[in-house]
Structure formats: C-alpha cells, structure tokens
Amino acid sequence: MRPHYAAAIARAASTAFPLHSPPLCRPAPLGSICYRPVQARRCILTQGSRNPGAFPAPHARLTRSRQRAFESVEIPVDTPPQSSRGERRPAATATTDAAAQTGSAASWPLSSVLVVDDEPGMCNFLQKILAPRFALVETAADAVAAEVLQQRCHFDLIISDIRLPGRSGVEWLQSLREQGDNACAIFITAHADLDTAIAALRAGAVDFILKPFRAEQILAAVERCMDQLRLARENFVLRRQEARIYEGHDLVGESVVIREVDEIIRRVAPMPSTVLVEGESGTGKELAARAIHGHSGRGGSFVPINCGAISPELLESELFGHARGAFTGAHRARDGLFTYADSGTLFLDEIGEMPLAMQAKLLRVLEDRVIRPVGANREIPVDVRIIAATNRDLGDEVAAGRFREDLYYRLNVLTIRMPSLRERPEDLPVLAQHFLITLAAELGIARPRYGAAELGALADYHWPGNVREFKNVMERSLLLGRAPAQCLGLHEQGERGAAVPTAVPQRLEEVERRHILGVLDDAGGNKSEAARRLGIARKTLERKLRAWQSERAGAVAVEP
C-alpha cells in the first residue's frame, strides 16, 4: 500500500472511530471502496455495501456524523489505483463533483423519481444528483419497500437495479406493467449479459446502464426518458382532442344531398381507391376526407397538407422527406409526410395549386407506391391512401395546361362533390345547434336559445363562405350576445317580414371596430370609461384607435 493511501485511511479511521474504540482489524480493499478519480485528482472513500468483510462487525453501527466523515474522506492520487498485476481497477461511479459539473442539465420540477437499489451508497449518489432536478426523489432497498412507496404517491420515473433482494427488478417491473403502471424505467446493474438486457427491454425498460457509470450518463438517460414520457402524454392529449372534434366521423345535416354524400363516404371508405373531393371553399371538404379515413379502418394517421400554402421549392421535401446534405440547410435527414401517413391517409388539399413538376412526381408515387427522399438513392415503399380536394374545376385546369391530364385521370377514380350551404337551407337549424353547443363549450359561456323565427331568417342569406362563414357568424353571435341575424345585418322588412341582407361589413374585425367606436361615443369620448365598459385596458383601446387612424390615413393617401 502506498504511504499516502495509508495515511488517508488512518485519518478516516481516527475521525470515524474515537480513540476508545477498538482499532480496525484489517484495512478495506481499496478496489471496493474507492470511486473513480476526477479532474481534481482525488477520489471519494466510501463504505462498500457489497463488501461486508471490509469493516468488522463491532464497528458496523456508526452514527450518522461518523459515517459521513468516513464516506467523505478525500484520497489524493497521482495515478488511478492499480492492482498487484499492474492492471487498472474498474471505477464504481462518478463522484459528487462530477454531478456538480452537470448543473446545466434539464430539470423537471413537477415530476418524481423512485430509486431502487440495495446499495446505500448508490442510492445516496443518485439522490444527490437527482434531488436538485426533481420535485421528489425517494429510495428503496428492495421491491417490497418500493411498492409501499408507490402506494403512497405516483412516480414518473423508476431507476432500479436488476439484482434486488428477494424479487428481481425485471420481475417487479413486469408486475407493474400488468397493473397498468406506465412509468418510465431505467435499469442499472453491474452483472449484465445479453439475456438480461433482452429481458429488461421486454419488460418495458426504456434504458439499460452498466455499472460503473458517470453522472452525465445517468442524467442523459433520465432526460431521454422524461422526453419520451412528455411526448407520450402530448400524443395522448392530441388524440383525445382529435377524437372529440371529429367524433362519429359523420357529416352534420339532414338534407337529402348531405345524406347522399354520407352514404357514398361509408360505401367507399373501406376501399383503397383514390378519392377526389370537389366543392366551394368552406363546404367541408377536409371534414369529408376525415370521415372517409374514420370509416376506412386504416390503422395509420390522417395527415393533411395544403399544397397551396407551401412554396414549390419545399413541397417535395415536405411530402417525400430529404437526406442529410440534400440542399443548403439540410443538416440532418428528415422523413416526409408520406412516411408519417404510412398505413393511413394523406389529404392533399388544394391539389389544383400544386406545381407541374411536383405533379409528375406525385403521379409516379400513385402508380408505383414508392417514394424517394430528396437527395437519397433508395426508394421507400409506402401504403398510403390519397384523398385530394380542390375548389377549382380540374377539367378546365387541364384544358388550360395548368394541370396534368394523366394525374387528373389518376386522381379522378371517384369524385365526391360537397354541396354549398345555399343548396341545403334545411340544414341551417341543425348546423346552428351543433355550432352553438360546441362553441359555447370552447368559449366557456352559456348556450343561448334561439327560436325558429330567428334561425329561419338566416335562410335568405346567400352564404358565399358556406359552412365556414356560418360557423364564424355563430361564434360572433356568442361573443356579442346578439342573434345571428343581427350579426349579419339582417332585419325584417316588407309586409311578409322577409329578412333582407343590408350592405354592412361581414368581417369580425369590422364588427369589433364599430362596437368599440359606438361604446366610445356613448361614453362621450372618455377613453377610460369606454375601456371600463368594454372590459379592456386603456392602453389596448388606445392601441386599437391608433391602428384604425393609421389605416384611415393610408386609405386617404392612396386616393387619386
């Protein structure tokens, strides 16, 4: 033994055990109690729980202060400790100094973690590096104690040794999964083989770390687990929201034309054929596409894309993906929407605005069912159902040379035409009740009750924006607390009381401007009083007034 090692152990013994205590029977093997040296050229002397022979039985019961003194003795080292054969001894874990160097790691102040290990030193080490990053860190020596803690509170992350007293960590995790506990799990072990790793992953472990490990290794694994947990929760919430919005996959309406469309959708949904949905803007083409996907039974996702909202240069990469270095700024490879829609449905909205160069590539995908990412040499087979939609007449676009004729016939396997709202006025009361219920729940306000006369006045309006405009009018009615006909500027005129549209602005911004200016006029020009009546801040009111004055000044400037 080197002299400076012996001196350090002597200091530890004199600190941990007073002079009246019996001397140590034999020194502890350095290989079992010494952690890896770090940049500060020192290591930590700790009592190894798996080396009971390192300390004699009379001194096994130490007070907390003596144990801390013994566990925190610093041993200066010139080189890593070596065995008698000159081989380097394996390090056990990182020191607390290494944990302190990782202070910039992410934190999860609302999450909890459970550490299960029969080594007190390992539990203390993990608790020290995880406590600043989690709201709660609990430790247990075996699966029985861990189950007691789990009955008391929920844990988002579990870090467990595989070899535990009594029940192994793999068996315990399997029982947790059978009980419905989906907490992320990380296994740590010093005795690993291929069969053990496979069993741990099959049991539901997210990561598998071999002892010895450094603090940054366990923190990186923890960060990956927490990211996976966050993504799983977000995915669950988004799926619930989508299911609630499009629950039932049915079109709203009781008219003959909408029932015919619904019947066609149910008939063609299970087939893999391409569908072309035509109709004016706002008639519900995407809703019809979602209904087709909902009734199709396909296990993949519904992935929509607006072909007119993406530049021609990026559309190919967005659809097919790209390889790393395919173009400037492609620092890493990326999957396209065809890949995300595999085994599902890809909805190509506004297909008539797709560039001609992309139309040729889309035609090849529809014929061969394979895609090639930008800059890649391989082809990827995909199982995607294509539903395209347009508000243009593609036959006229073909005649004008703006749309490929072969792609038109490839898409036009089955055409579904969505009727405009003025073609089904009998659906207005049903749509009104549907939107009032859903919008009132979203806005958190009480649902008003409108009579047949108030809703019947809407049938005389032309509805150029179709269902989308109708929904906006219902939302405007809820916000302003007025009848829908009043929000449209309809009033009863003539002997029969027919509702006649007046030339008033239809945009919500214009209605807001007229309402604010009216309140300001009623308040005699007092901005503070007007802001109080409107329920907004005075600065907000002044900002809106300045914006309207700037628009008026700009309009006057452009007049001849």
Kind plus residue range of the DSSP H or E element containing 161:
strand 157-161
**Residue 409: pLDDT over 60:** yes
Does 396 share its domain with 442? Answer: no
For the ranges 283-287, 304-308, 517-521, the lowest mean pLDDT is seen at: 517-521
For the ranges 40-49, 231-240, 535-544, the lowest mean pLDDT is seen at: 40-49
- For residue range 78-128, what is the model confidence (pLDDT) as tens digits? 333 333 333 333 334 443 444 444 444 578 888 899 999 999 999 999 999
CA dihedral 391, 303, 353, 404 (to 10 degrees): -100
Is residue 267 classed exposed, middle or buried when 0-12, 13-18 and 19+ CB atoms within 10 A define those classes? exposed
Does 51 share its domain with 129? Answer: no
Distance between CA 201 and CA 222 in Å, rounded?
A: 16
Give bridge partners of residue 189 from the DSSP assignment: 210
Residue 222 CB neighbours (<10 A)? 26
- Is the bond leading into 212 cis (omega within 30 degrees of zero)? yes
Tokens matching residue 68? 């801390």
Whether residue 87 is contained in a domain is answered as: no
Tokens matching residue 66? 């003596």
**Residue 410: pLDDT over 70:** yes
Whether residue 505 is contained in a domain is answered as: no
Does 70 share its domain with 121? Answer: no
Distance between CA 322 and CA 334 in Å, rounded?
A: 5
The answer to whether 486 and 448 have CB atoms below 8 angstroms apart is: no
How many structural domains compose the chain?
5
Whether residue 524 is contained in a domain is answered as: yes
Whether residue 500 is contained in a domain is answered as: no
Tokens matching residue 183? 């907490």
Distance between CA 275 and CA 260 in Å, rounded?
A: 16
List C-alpha distances in Å: 508 to 36, 177, 213, 262.
Answer: 68, 52, 61, 32
**Residue 255: pLDDT over 80:** yes
The answer to whether 206 and 185 have CB atoms below 8 angstroms apart is: yes
Does 408 share its domain with 527? Answer: no
Does 306 share its domain with 320? Answer: yes
**Residue 472: pLDDT over 80:** yes
Whether residue 85 is contained in a domain is answered as: no
Domain boundary pick from 419, 452, 471: 419
Measured N-to-C along each axis, helices 527-534 and 508-522 cross at an angle, to the nearest 10 degrees, of 130
Distance between CA 148 and CA 172 in Å, rounded?
A: 13
For residue 480, give the CATH number of its domain. Answer: 1.10.8.60
> How open is the CA angle 98-103-104, to the nearest 5 degrees?
125
Does 407 share its domain with 267? Answer: yes
Does 156 share its domain with 290? Answer: no
Residue 516: per-residue pLDDT: 86
Which contacts qualify for 35-38: CB closer than 8 Å, 24 or more apart? 35/91, 35/92, 35/93, 35/94, 35/95, 36/80, 36/91, 36/92, 36/93, 36/94, 36/95, 36/212, 37/77, 37/80, 38/94, 38/95, 38/97, 38/98
Distance between CA 247 and CA 261 in Å, rounded?
A: 18
Q: What range defines the domain where residue 395 resides?
A: 246-419
> How open is the CA angle 131-160-149, to the nearest 5 degrees?
65
Distance between CA 166 and CA 61 in Å, rounded?
A: 24
Residue 89: per-residue pLDDT: 36
DSSP per residue, 163-188: S-SSS-HHHHHHHHHHTT---EEEEE
Whether residue 461 is contained in a domain is answered as: yes
Whether residue 343 is contained in a domain is answered as: yes
Cα 448 to chain centroid distance, Å, stands at 35
The answer to whether 127 and 84 have CB atoms below 8 angstroms apart is: no
Does 229 share its domain with 252? Answer: no
Domain boundary pick from 213, 235, 257: 235
SS3 state at 135:
strand
Whole-prediction pTM value?
0.55
Whether residue 39 is contained in a domain is answered as: yes
Half-sphere exposure of 315 (CA within 13 A, CB side): 21
Residue 384: per-residue pLDDT: 94
Q: Which residue has the higher pLDDT, 402 or 67?
A: 402
For residue 142, give the CATH number of its domain. Answer: 3.40.50.2300
- For residue range 76-88, what is the model confidence (pLDDT) as tens digits? 333 333 333 333 3
Measured N-to-C along each axis, helices 508-522 and 466-480 cross at an angle, to the nearest 10 degrees, of 20
Residue 506: per-residue pLDDT: 52
SS3 state at 242:
helix
